[in-house]
Amino acid sequence: MHIFKKSDNKRNQQRDQEAVRSPHEISDETLIASIAQGSIRAMEMLYQRYSRPLYSLAYHMVADQQIAEDLLQEAFLAVWRQAHSYSPQYGQVHSWLFSIIHHRAIDYLRASRRHPINKSVPLDEVDRDESTFSPDAWDTVWLSLRRAQVRAALLALRKEQRLVIELAFFQGWTHTEIAEACQIPLGTVKARMRLGLIHLKRMLEHQGMDPQE
């Protein structure tokens, strides 16, 4: 009996050692749960995984490096302080993270009453940026594949639907402001937003991408 107990202990130790996997194998949900318990290491991993795409969104919206970095820092501090409030019923972790920084960027844009005009970045410049700056080759590849699919679907939308989506999501305009600026009825703006998102979802599903993944 004593011999079997010893074997069990040895197996348990081995199992504990093997349970520590490489960072790539740890799910976002596990990281958030660890952060909620005060794990700075988990916070480092989450930052490594998402700082670039979150910063990219903020920078694209506010067009200012310093402001975008401040927003990034605020967003991750909010994650550190409110990790316990995250629940899978709100959506996936990456959706939650994007919503945190997106709302902060919108608040900034509306508070400053700025609507920056985004210059379009030629595709070859985009590729050059990614290959120069990415610290993680796989993240670049994965995001590039994803980006190409979603961008193609967005460009395939009717231009009036794409316009209202871009003005709202990336420029922080309210639907009322869009209606006034574009001289179109408010109801039309709302309908274009809703239908544009439905069409975007259907196009991506048709390509085999599950938008909820």
Q: Which of residues 75-114 bind another protein (CB under 8 A)?
A: 76-77, 80-81, 91-92, 94-95, 98, 102-103, 106
Question: Does 11 participate in binding another protein (rule CB under 8 A)?
Answer: no
31-64 burial, b for 16+ CB within 10 Å, e for fewer?
bbebbbeebeebbebbbebbbbbbbbbbbebbeb
Biggest CA-to-CA distance, the chain = 84
Task: Considering only residues 45 through 74, tell me which ones interact with another protein, judged by CB under 8 A.
Answer: 45, 47, 51-57, 59-60, 65, 68-69, 72-73
Question: Which of 2, 7, 18, 111 is the binder for another protein (CB under 8 A)?
Answer: 18
Task: Considering only residues 136 through 195, tell me which ones interact with another protein, judged by CB under 8 A.
Answer: 136-138, 140-143, 145-147, 150-151, 154, 165, 168-170, 172-176, 178, 187, 189-195
Tell me if 164 sits within 8 A of 189, measured CB to CB: yes
| Residue 146 or 158 having the CB closest to another protein | 146
- Closest by CA to 111, choosing from 77, 62, 57, is 62
DSSP label of 120: P
Question: Does 25 participate in binding another protein (rule CB under 8 A)?
Answer: yes
| Residue 89 or 183 having the CB closest to another protein | 89
Tell me if 116 sits within 8 A of 62, measured CB to CB: yes
